[in-house]
Chain A
Amino acid sequence: MDADTRILPNARGERLYDLAEVLRSKNAGPLLITFDVILPDAATYRRVVESEVLTPELIGRLYDLPPADVQIMAFEAANAIKITIPRTGPTSGAPGDRDVYGAQQHVPLIDILIP
């Protein structure tokens, strides 16, 4: 899979990294990684949700996971979208893990384009 699959085929728009106020990853326990995409206001939040770009299929492609393992939830109260995936390699801090806190796993999301 090459780097271009991060960006949707005919997509135009702004990068999620530029739209989001917070775009972060973190452990949710030693077995899961959870991503928070917090948008600056309700209008941007609606734009991202209504674009239907963030799907389990896309996240699954970016993180080499079956879509069924990807959980995505809209959280209107915080103008935010939450994405949670399992750690498929070593658990947090086990030999071979590269990110004990899971704090630098968000980067594959940054180039997603939102129309």
Chain B
Amino acid sequence: MRVSDRIFGAVVVVGSLGYVAAASQIAAPFFSDPMGSRAFPMLVGTVAAICGAMMILRPDGEPDWPPGRAFGALLLATALLVGYAYALRPLGFLIPTAIVAGVLSWQIAPNPKAAALTGVGLSAGLFLVFRYVLGLSLLGFPRGWF
């Protein structure tokens, strides 16, 4: 079964053709050079689509995908990092960082106590380094707490 490359190739073909279509709609400027803004993106998109087609036609062997549970762990990590991106400004540095670092640590080595310690330690240690050694203007806690 060599489905991974085929699926990815199909995604690439569809995505690239969409990209070419989008590029063909770029509005032409009033004054333009001989080539214009459309040609190069369309060209590259077409090459990408051809590469995707090649992957469908001649797929490599199957990579060793992680088992279901590890896959769930990866999804959790991704969701966590997305949440971190949204939380960093309103909640300050210390709390989101402690949570994310702790959970990531627990995901790598499932030892709750050590993970919690790692989270808190990294959060506090990095905050001190960033704030006072490197002089970045980071907010430690949510605005208005202190």
Partners in one complex: no
Residues of B whose CB lies within 8 Å of any CB of A are none
Residues of A whose CB lies within 8 Å of any CB of B are none
